[in-house]
Amino acid sequence: MNRITFRIVHGVMVALMTAMIGLVFGNVVLRYVFNTGIAFSEEASRFLFMWLTLLGALLVMHDRAHLGMNTVVARLSPGGQRLCRLLADAAALGCCLLLTHGAWQIVQIGMDDRAPVTGVPLGLVYACLLLCGAGMTAMLAWSLGRLLSGRMTLGELTPQSGPSGE
């Protein structure tokens, strides 16, 4: 994915977080001050949180910032580092393929069911799993392709920090 795509995803995440904060805060104020509330606030904020979390996981995967054993792997020879990266990416790819397959099935089933309060088709809510799984699958397949073709540099085998170099 390119930079523009990730800027858009960051913007979407900011919008989701803003909406979630607005719904929850507004509902709290309405409940405690006016003894009323927004009926769909809890359900909608839960759905927004699901999307926010899984879009965040996708961005973290892109930045190679998920938890890892970089300290241990960095001490291995270049061949050992490549083998560890191959095993880790292959295992993660297998998991992401299973996630994507299962997410596709649950999205199809969920399109016939609606959320009780908002009336949103649950398939749209569960689509965040599909998007996250498919995105991670694509990133891992790209990474494995680069690793197996020899185009991955040694520095990419054990990333030491996030994209900003912190």
The whole-chain average pLDDT of the chain stands at: 90
The 8 Å CB, 24+ separation contacts for 73-81 are 73/157, 73/158, 74/158, 74/160, 78/154, 78/157, 81/154, 81/157, 81/158
Contact between 92 and 138 under an 8 Å Cβ cutoff? The reply is no
Q: What are phi and psi of 113, to 5 degrees?
A: -105, 145
Residue with tokens 């998920």: 66
Going by pLDDT thresholds of 50, 70 and 90, the confidence category of residue 65 is confident
Q: Which residue has the higher pLDDT, 63 or 26?
A: 26
Q: Using one digit for the tens of pLDDT, what is the confidence trace for 107-119?
A: 999 999 999 999 9
Q: Using one digit for the tens of pLDDT, what is the confidence trace for 138-162?
A: 999 999 999 999 999 888 887 765 4
Amino acid present at 73 = V
Q: What are phi and psi of 114, to 5 degrees?
A: -120, 145
Helices (H), 35-121: 41-62, 70-73, 78-110
Of all residues in the chain, the percent with pLDDT exceeding 90 is 73
pLDDT value, residue 161:
53
Residue with tokens 């083998």: 83
